[in-house]
Amino acid sequence: MSLTLIGRTIDKYRIDKQLGEGGMGAVFEAFHMTLQRRVAFKIVHPHLASQAQFQQRFLNEAQTVAKLDHPSIVKVYDAGFSDGILFIAMEYIEGGTLSQHIKSFTQKKKAFKLREGLFILAQAADALDYAHHRPEKIIHRDIKPDNIMLRKLDVPDAPGEPPLRTVITDFGLAKAALGPDGGTMTGSFLGTPAYMSPEQCRGQTLDGRSDIYSLGIVLYQIATGRLPFMIRTPAEAVTKHLFETPPPADQVRPGLPAAVVQIINRALAKESGARFGRAKQMADALRQVAHQLADDETQSVYFTPARPSESIVTQVESFAHAPSVAAGFSRVQAGARDQIVITRAGVPPQTVVVNKPSLTIGRTPDNDVQLDLEKISRHHARIDQTPDGYSVTDLGSTNGTMLDANRLLEGVPQSWESGQTLRIGNCFLRWTMGQQASVPMASMQQTPYPQQMGAGRQPYASAFTASAFDSMQTPLGASRLQSSGGRIGVVVKPTELRVEPGQRETLQVQIFNRGMTVDHFDLSMSGLNREWYSLPQESVELMPGAQGALTVLLHPPRSSSTTAGDHKFKLTVRAQSDQEAAAAKANLHVLPFVAFSAELHPSIIEHKKSARLSINNESNHPTTFAIEASDPAATIRFGGVPPSIEVDAGAAVTREIKISARKRHWLGMKKSMPYAIAVTPMDGQGVAIPQRKNGQMSVKPIIPRWVVRGVGMLLTLGLLAGAFLYTRITNEQKAEIATQTAVAEAGANSAEQTRQAADANAAATKVAADAALATAAAEGTKSAEAAQLAGDDDGDGLSNQQELALGTEPDNPDTDQDGLSDGQEVNIFSTQPKNQDSDTDGMLDGLEVQNGTQPLNPDTDGDGLPDGIDDDPLVPALPTPNVPATQAAIAAAAALEAANAEATQTAIAEAALSSADATATQVSIDTTTEAVKAAVAATETAIAQAVTVAPPGLWEGVWASQCDVILCEKMEIRQSGNEIEGVFANGNGKLIGEVEGNFASGKWSLGGADGSFDFWLNEDGKSWNGNWNKTFGWCGGRSNSDVPASCGVASWYGQWKTACGTGDCEVMEIIQTGEKIFGTYANSEGIIEGTVQGTALTGSWNRNGGSGTIGYYMLPDGEQFNGNWNTDFEWCGGRSGNGLPDPCLNSGFVVFTPVELVIDPVFVDPEPAEPILGEPPILIVEP
């Protein structure tokens, strides 16, 4: 962070002095112009502040910390974003950091009093305990001496304690460095490696005991004079914090009190459960030991071979009175001539009037400005007047000359602008412009002193320095040019670039400093969308004649707004000293790509209605799409189908397509006619798969069913009326007529009885179906609610994970376009969500549900005709006519023929006719009554069957089980539909979950602990394999002999965010069936297949014609994995909502970490066999 901010006003704050700099930003002493008070002003590094998500997290954390009110936590006054600068304003603590005091003791070779150190850390522990037990449960995450400040008090807080107040800074700000999914920012290693806890190294969820471990590292440091581990890299941090024991503190520093050693050992326990449960417990222990220690030399800490000890209180007082550089400058008034203002600690500022073109500064009297101080050389630096102000040259000093944060090169003039701070030894210098003209420059020399330049060195003799730029040839495909003033040379290569949207290309810009002074050069670009490129954040510093290179990354997004074709742009290199610039032109050719989506709505329509076809062109150029409509039976007529449609990039069009049947059927029920609309891009730009949208047309018969029934009734009434009209004809004719009439009536009655029975059966079937549907709908509602909680992007009642397992589309509620959502098919109707016609009867599943037929029964009414071609699929074929009625009519005719007397015959005929009518009517009534009774009985039976609980499922019963670490033993499962619950560990543990096919998942609890489980049932139904908490083995069988020999399968299914070195792997989707996995990555361009064994996944990858091997190894909590592709290249990932492991390791040996489980010991296996899955591995790069 450059000192150029000193003197600048940001928002309401004037920046006066830089106090320090760290990984997140720099801290300055600033002055609030309105409230007239000093503050500590932290400015975040630009590469973090420029990220919108980081800004929001930073400001949110600042708001949270501002609510903290504890004397040992720094107060937050303000936070904001102004002029591109992200800042936080905090309480100003004058006494310095613990880190600064440790360094000061080392430099002065003084000893540190242990007693005072224990009281300091006790107050720090008080502050941590307060934050840990706030409602927000704030964890610091980066406790170290740099974040522990000290303030001098007038009187001690408590008797026997030193008059100091410990103040912890940066509370909660480390959390802002976490990514949006909880992982660290790309390329970062959250926390300071030397002070990180084991759980931080693993990337686990943290609690207050992580801060206790870090405070234990600080305690070890101030108690022994050294850190417990010498750590240089993140990999070393993982190894040492997880697996190595630090040297015993009383061996490093013999004579260290045993009570202090005990506190250190407990705070540094590898297992968080073995540490202090609360920071307050550690604070109490520290104070108890501190009060017992004598305040003498025997209890002092030596950071180096040291002289007698010194109280840290004395040092804090000296830090509190250190002057502000900018404050010293501000007290000097402008004079008649230019003057140089010199400030240093404890001394009032002094001024030097510039009365000659060149001034020398050094320790000896022969200098124009004598500074006889430590760290200043005899002839240290020279200041020369220039047309624009002044330049400064280091004359070979021992300790160097600093201009802002940059150390000057020996003998090379550097432009010194007004407002810049020059540092020589412990002195700070600035120059101010006078009210009169400057000293004439006629006698000014640019020649350095010979004794400082050395033999053979020559002064600059021309306006420009020679460089490689002057002699080089322009490379092929490059552009070579210089600025109008000639001080800047630029080579850009290449100037013509081609890139596919979503891919990357790089461009190199070489910069040559042809001037006579050191300068900084900035690179800017114009002509392209800002999202298409990335420029270096920092400027390049070049001495005269030197050259440097900057890389520009071009990455136009894969979007319809990234227009295909040529895009001209300009690169500008500008010198910071005088804004002289050189500009080069280049061209970016964006390649075309094809992407589109099509929708058909509604997917089910009536005869002679219209469907709307919508096409959204997601390509980056106008695209023509071919449209083709078809139906398998060639029974549909399509109107308004254009042969092709041209759609602009990023635009959408809609066309109406009229659909009708070529020929309608006369009788029966509605029929379903499937059809499809295919949309195919015709431009041949890139590769795009045609999209086929399925639909169906519903066609009603020409003559409705009620017309057929009405005609039947009229015919029956006509026959009855005719019988009574002819009762008085001749006896023989009467008998014949009577017989015929009886037969006709019997047939009519039989037909009507049959029709009534059929209607009753149909009604019973519908009642049964409605009852079953109601029960299934209730179950489906529960499943849909569960899916919504688990993540259901398309709202179809199935979770995204369920859809991946079934092979349906998570973003399409009706994958097979049959009129039923995927969730309805699975949870309610048990139909196939990827098959429009589950029972292959020629009728779509959705239409069957709409019409009342059974989508899983090809012949609902059992008449031998499939529902799709049956005119009346709910009415069975007519049964045999009523035999008793027919026989009665024949008997009546015989009786009439036997009569002799005409009168008698007439009477008998009439009587017989009446008898036949009565008999036929009675039989018909009896038969109809029986049919009704049968229909009622069928209805009752159907209803009873509909509400009966489903028979036991595949998971029902008693299982022998075994698992890692815990004693799971016998398991008993009860299943109801898609839900299971059970007990294990001889009834002490419980589990509850859901079933999807052969997969069961849910939650377990045992002995105060709980977690998740995933089980996969084998095809024989006798055994299953799986895990608890994603990485620990758990398997079972119907008997002990059925338990799988290779027990334990980690859970890899779901969505992962991955990184694979130089590759672009992006999001990976994995489907898992027990030991087998299949997945896609890189926007489905790549495919992986493999086998899971324990926590390891091995297999192969295939992408764009290339292929190779993969090896993944799951990390402890099952949320991240490390691994490789083709053995030598890293490939790691984290589940959605989790970050990537840091570092992302590619190969090495597997190290098993101890199992962490808070559970009643009675349920833990005292003598576990060989690990089933093994403890989750941590990969360490081989040395």
Residues 6+ apart with CB under 8 A from 713: none
**DSSP 8-state class, residue 448:** P
Selecting among 126, 142, 872, 917, the annotated active-site residue is 142
Alpha carbon of residue 1131 to chain centroid: 17
How many C-beta atoms surround the C-beta of residue 733 within 10 A?
A: 11
76 - beta bridge partners?
A: 90
To the nearest 5 percent, what fractions of the chain are helix, strand and coil?
25, 30, 40
**DSSP 8-state class, residue 51:** -
What's the half-sphere exposure (Cβ side, CA atoms, 13 Å) at 8?
16
The CA distance from 120 to 147, in Å, is 13
- In the block, tokens 């406790």 appear at 143
Which H, E and C letters describe 819-834, residue by residue? CCCHHHHHHHHCCCCC
150-154: Cβ within 8 A, 24+ apart: 150/93, 150/95, 150/96, 150/97, 150/98, 150/101, 150/120, 150/312, 150/316, 150/319, 151/93, 151/94, 151/95, 151/316, 151/320, 152/94, 152/95, 152/313, 152/316, 152/317, 152/320
**Three-state SS at 1098:** strand
- 822 near 796, Cβ under 8 Å? yes
Nearest to 260 by CA among 115, 85, 416: 115
What's the half-sphere exposure (Cβ side, CA atoms, 13 Å) at 521?
33
**301 Rama class: left (phi>0) / alpha (psi -120 to 50) / beta:** beta
Nearest to 1061 by CA among 1122, 971, 984: 1122
- 1121 near 1114, Cβ under 8 Å? yes
What's the half-sphere exposure (Cβ side, CA atoms, 13 Å) at 270?
14
- 190 near 182, Cβ under 8 Å? no
Is 170 in the active site?
no
**115, 217, 344, 376, 630 from 95: Cα distances, Å:** 19, 22, 18, 27, 83
Q: What is 452-467 written as a DSSP string?
A: HH-TT-----SSS---
The CA distance from 149 to 20, in Å, is 13
The CA distance from 1145 to 1111, in Å, is 12
**DSSP 8-state class, residue 951:** P
Residues annotated as catalytic are 142
